């Protein structure tokens, strides 16, 4: 079983819709969770992070964390064609490995006009 698994894509949504990206992780001791966006041919850029159960909102983006279910998601409201990219989920196990992230394989999102 992969340590960090993302829903298989590609995911296609119409402009203005809500895009939902999901991520599960196997290490129950994982402490913080990061979402990165990666445009084709470019490096990843941080969208947001979360470490407490519940929702965290930043503009059109909402991260949701459920540690009991070992599940983290990213919602993108009012999706725009410029949101089309690969979204990477990353998990920090904490402890002596603080700072070290484990990445999922990514979900490709396409927002069509």
Partner 1 sequence: DGGITQSPKYLFRKEGQNVTLSCEQNLNHDAMYWYRQDPGQGLRLIYYSQIVNDFQKGDIAEGYSVSREKKESFPLTVTSAQKNPTAFYLCASSIARQTLDQPQHFGDGTRLSIL
Counting contacts by CB under 8 A, is residue 102 touching partner 1? Answer: yes
Counting contacts by CB under 8 A, is residue 101 touching partner 1? Answer: yes
Quote the least distance from Cβ 16 to partner 1, whole Å: 28
Counting contacts by CB under 8 A, is residue 88 touching partner 1? Answer: yes
Nearest to 103 by CA among 33, 10, 20: 33
* Binding region for partner 1 (CB under 8 A) out of 44-52, 53-61, 62-70, 76-84: 44-52
At 85, is the secondary structure helix, strand, or coil?
Answer: strand
Phi-psi group of 68: left, alpha or beta (phi > 0 → left; psi -120 to 50 → alpha; rest → beta)? alpha
Q: Which is nearer to partner 1, 34 or 73 (CB)?
A: 34
Q: Most distant CA pair in the chain: distance in Å?
A: 46
8 A C-beta contact, residue 88 and residue 38: yes
Counting contacts by CB under 8 A, is residue 78 touching partner 1? Answer: no
Counting contacts by CB under 8 A, is residue 29 touching partner 1? Answer: no
What is the token pair recorded at 15? 């402009």
Phi, psi of 12 (to 5 degrees): -125, 125
* Binding region for partner 1 (CB under 8 A) out of 11-19, 45-53, 58-66, 71-79: 45-53
Binding-site ranges for partner 1 (CB under 8 A):
4, 31-32, 34, 42-46, 49, 51, 88, 90, 92, 94, 98-106
């Amino acid at each position: 079983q992969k340590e960090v698994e993302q829903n298989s894509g590609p995911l296609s949504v119409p402009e203005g819709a809500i895009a939902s990206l999901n991520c599960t992780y196997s290490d129950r001791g994982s402490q913080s969770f990061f979402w990165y966006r990666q445009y084709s041919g470019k490096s990843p850029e941080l969208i947001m992070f979360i470490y407490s159960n519940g929702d965290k909102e930043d503009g059109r983006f909402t991260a949701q964390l459920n540690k009991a279910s070992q599940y983290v998601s990213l919602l993108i409201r009012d999706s725009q064609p410029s949101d089309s990219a690969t979204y990477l989920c990353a998990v920090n196990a904490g402890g002596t490995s603080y700072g070290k992230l484990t990445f999922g394989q990514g979900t490709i999102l396409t927002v069509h006009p």
